């Protein structure tokens, strides 16, 4: 990109051209613009008569700030009228940047695919990509530059004309979200993206819902399929409504529901601040629009996520949940770890984290955590004498709530560290426990920014990873360079 007298010139290679204009939607702006206007007008009339869809029970009206949304991405003749409800609800909101997440339909993908282009073209005008965010994300695990996946994918493209028409010249962060192995990876992707969110940002997921029929190899219902598909979609929506990521994951595992944007929906759920809820604005299926005479159908939901909490910047308030633990919270975690350790080694009932979470609700928030056991040296505190490791186990990713992660890993450190035999009852009084809580991962621009003894470090190398907790370098007396060399060796052997 060159800058000549203040005018930005975008070269052809910097611009993603539409791949589905002229087939899935109008390529001619003079036809596309009035079509979108009709979708928005119809939605406006529908919202005035009925502010939110009554198809599903338990639905609530939009309240406060809209932070996220889900819109369908089929051809406009099928899903355009439903998508219009999302964009009509966003038109008057002060949105300056859209984090646009959608699934990969045509290429297998683990993690997230980022574009290399600086703009995404639409028949109504181009949308600028926030290249600073993209350039930083590409260095994170689970993110990679993959322009070939973006070029052939329709899930994001189908939202772009709506964005341009309803929201204007906003900046976009387009991300294709592929398969994620577990809740930890979903939350990790969400944490990475949440670092950038601020007032005026919207997280928009492009997703259709249940794909039913032989065409989609999904025919779990013997009779009255239309009713049962609707009930399946309502069950999925209920977990969205409650912003219940764990419930949404369990629902998908139990039903195998064919939600094409399942992974980006899960990432969005992991990002939303507490007290958020979803509102269903419109629900239709492809058979409502065109009855093909067979049992195949695709479900379309228009969903927005809002939050009525008093805050100047809800995204920032959400990030403040990661502030350092208080002395009382730290003491509660150490007591919980000790209780779990003693009860496990003594073959008693495993410690329950629920009472601690009731007293300290922040400890229910998922986070990575390590529990390390040391033999207490003669004469006092382990930190004042020679340390002898007795076991260390942890979660790098935010797989479980922090309190439960501490319980799991206190037990794991005493029984599952392959370097040591299980801890025996006679050892309990001589053990000291260290807990390391992992904050969301942050990229390091320069290795000199790492603070020895304060920062833990995760190194990703040739698809392998290795981690050192903050205390490792000081325990061995390593310099920064020595610590990184040892970490690299560990990654190579892992």
Which three-class secondary structure state does DSSP give residue 130?
A: coil
Residue 226 CB burial class (10 angstroms; 0-12, 13-18, ≥19): middle
Supply the pLDDT for residue 313. Answer: 78
Q: What percent of the chain has pLDDT over 90?
A: 68
Residues 358, 308: one domain? no
Question: What residues have CB less than 8 Å from 108, skipping those under 6 apart?
Answer: 178, 179
**CA pair distance 257, 105, nearest whole angstrom:** 16
Of residues 443 and 494, the one with the higher pLDDT is 443
pLDDT at 356 over 50: yes
- Give the range among 47-51, 122-126, 319-323, 451-455 with minimum mean pLDDT: 319-323
Residue where a domain terminates, one of 296, 319, 342:
319
Give the pLDDT of residue 107. Answer: 95
The least confident of 212-216, 311-315, 414-418, 477-481 is: 311-315
Residue 441 clears pLDDT 80, i.e. is over it: no
440 burial class (0-12, 13-18, 19+ CB within 10 angstroms)?
middle
**pLDDT score at 318:** 66
Q: Are residues 141 and 258 in the same domain?
A: yes
Q: Residue 385: which pLDDT band, with cuts at 50, 70 and 90?
A: low
Return d(Cα 3, Cα 10) in angstroms, integer.
9
Lowest mean pLDDT among 168-172, 223-227, 320-324: 320-324
Confidence at 2, pLDDT banded by 50, 70, 90:
very low
Please answer whether residues 196 and 135 qualify as being in contact, where contact means their C-beta atoms are separated by less than 8 angstroms: no
Question: What is the rounded distance in angstroms from the CA atom of residue 279 to the CA atom of residue 451?
Answer: 45
At 69, which CATH number? Answer: 3.40.830.10
138, 272: one domain: yes
Instruction: Provide the edge-to-edge strand list for the sheet that holds 368-375.
Output: 388-395, 368-375, 431-438
Among 319, 345, 374, give the residue marking a domain's end.
319
Q: In the structure, what pLDDT confidence band is assigned to residue 3 with cuts at 50, 70 and 90?
A: very low
Instruction: Give the residue among 256, 255, 248, 299 at the shortest CA–CA distance from 272.
Output: 248
Q: Are residues 341 and 404 part of one domain? A: yes
* Domain match, 262 and 367 both: no
- Find the mean pLDDT for residues 315-331: 77
- Residue 53 is predicted with a pLDDT of 83
The pLDDT, as a whole number, for residue 155 is: 98
Task: Give residue 320's pLDDT.
Answer: 54
Domains in the chain, number: 2
- 13-17, 44-48, 299-303, 465-469: least confident range: 465-469
Q: How far apart are CA 88 and CA 11, in angstroms?
A: 33
391 and 357 within one domain: yes
Q: Is 255 helix (H, G, I), strand (E, B) or coil?
A: helix
* CATH for 426: 3.30.700.20
Residue 201 neighbours by CB under 8 Å, 6+ apart? 95, 96, 97, 98, 99, 315
Measured CA to CA, the distance from residue 301 to residue 320 in angstroms comes to 32
DSSP 324: P
Q: Are residues 270 and 382 in the same domain?
A: no
Considering 301, 319, 337, which residue would you say is the last residue of a domain? Answer: 319
Residues 313 and 395 in one domain: no
Instruction: State the pTM of this model.
Output: 0.80
Classify 211 as helix, strand or coil: strand
Same domain, 376 and 273: no
Helices (H), 153-285: 160-167, 183-194, 225-241, 245-255, 262-271
Higher pLDDT, 156 or 315: 156
Q: Which tens digits make up the pLDDT trace of 185-210? A: 999 999 899 989 999 999 999 999 99
- Average pLDDT (156-179) is 98
Whether the per-residue pLDDT at 271 is higher than 70: the answer is yes
For the segment 387-418, what is each residue's pLDDT rounded down to a tens digit? 789 999 999 888 888 999 999 999 999 999 99
Number of Cβ within 10 Å of residue 75's Cβ equals 14
Same domain, 386 and 248: no
Residue 404 shares a structural domain with residue 484: yes
pLDDT of residue 312: 67
Q: Which residue has the higher pLDDT, 385 or 63?
A: 63
- Taking residues 300-324, what's their average pLDDT? 79
Arithmetic mean of pLDDT, 30-37:
98
What does the pLDDT look like over 452-463, one tens digit per residue?
A: 888 889 887 766
Looking at the predicted structure, is the pLDDT value of residue 141 above 90? no
Mean pLDDT across the chain: 90
What per-residue confidence (pLDDT) applies to 233? 97
pLDDT band at 10 (very low <50, low <70, confident <90, very high): very low
pLDDT digit string (tens) for 63-109?
Answer: 899 999 999 999 999 999 999 999 999 999 999 999 999 999 999 99
Tokens (6 digits) for 62: 């939009």
The dihedral formed by the CA atoms of 169, 173, 176 and 181, expressed in degrees to the nearest 10: -150
On whether both 273 and 385 belong to a single domain, the answer is no
CB 241 within 8 A of CB 224: no
**Separation of CA 69 from chain center:** 14
What is the pLDDT averaged over residues 38-46?
96
> Which domain covers residue 82, as residue numbers?
2-319
Q: Which of 114-128, 283-297, 385-399 has the highest mean pLDDT?
A: 114-128
């Amino acid at each position: 990109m060159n800058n000549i007298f203040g005018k930005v010139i975008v070269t052809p290679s910097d611009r993603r051209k539409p791949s589905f204009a002229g087939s899935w939607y109008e390529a001619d702006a003079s036809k596309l613009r009035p079509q979108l206007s009709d979708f928005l007008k119809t939605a406006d009339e529908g919202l005035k008569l009925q502010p939110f869809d009554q198809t599903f029970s338990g639905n609530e009206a939009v309240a406060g700030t809209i932070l996220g949304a889900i819109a369908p991405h089929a051809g406009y003749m099928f899903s355009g009228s439903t998508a219009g409800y999302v964009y009509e609800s966003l038109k008057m909101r002060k949105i300056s940047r859209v984090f646009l997440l959608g699934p990969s339909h045509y290429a297998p993908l683990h993690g997230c695919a980022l574009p290399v282009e600086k703009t995404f073209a639409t028949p109504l005008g181009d949308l600028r990509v926030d290249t600073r965010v993209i350039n930083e994300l590409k260095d994170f695990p689970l993110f990679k530059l993959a322009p070939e996946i973006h070029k052939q994918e329709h899930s994001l493209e189908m939202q772009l004309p709506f964005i341009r028409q309803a929201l204007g010249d906003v900046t976009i962060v387009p991300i294709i979200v592929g398969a994620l192995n577990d809740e930890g990876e979903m939350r990790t992707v969400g944490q990475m993206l949440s670092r950038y969110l601020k007032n005026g940002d919207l997280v928009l997921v492009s997703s259709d819902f249940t794909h039913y029929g032989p065409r989609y190899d999904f025919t779990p219902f013997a009779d009255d399929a239309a009713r049962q598909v609707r009930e399946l979609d309502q069950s999925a929506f209920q977990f969205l409504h409650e912003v219940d990521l764990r419930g949404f994951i369990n629902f998908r595992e139990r039903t195998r529901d064919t939600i094409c944007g399942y992974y980006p929906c899960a990432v969005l759920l992991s990002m939303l601040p507490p007290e958020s809820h979803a509102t269903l604005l419109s629900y239709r299926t492809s058979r409502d629009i065109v009855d093909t005479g067979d049992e195949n159908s695709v479900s379309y939901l228009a969903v927005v996520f809002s939050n009525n909490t008093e805050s100047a910047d809800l995204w920032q308030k959400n990030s403040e949940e990661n502030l350092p633990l208080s002395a009382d919270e730290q003491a509660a975690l150490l007591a919980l770890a000790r209780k779990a350790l003693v009860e496990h080694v003594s073959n008693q009932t495993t410690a329950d984290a629920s009472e601690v979470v009731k007293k300290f609700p922040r400890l229910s928030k998922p986070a990575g955590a390590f529990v390390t056991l040391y033999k207490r040296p003669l004469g006092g505190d382990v930190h004042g004498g020679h340390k002898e490791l007795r076991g260390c186990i942890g979660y790098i990713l935010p797989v479980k709530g922090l309190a439960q992660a501490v319980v799991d890993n206190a037990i794991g450190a005493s029984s599952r560290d392959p370097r040591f035999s299980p801890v025996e009852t006679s050892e309990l009084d001589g053990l000291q426990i260290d807990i390391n809580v992992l904050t969301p991962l942050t990229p390091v621009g320069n290795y000199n920014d790492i603070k020895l003894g304060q920062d833990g470090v995760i190194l990703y190398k040739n698809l392998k990873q290795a981690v050192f907790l903050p205390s490792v370098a000081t325990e061995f007396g390593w310099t920064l360079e020595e610590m990184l060399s040892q970490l690299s060796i560990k990654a190579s052997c892992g």
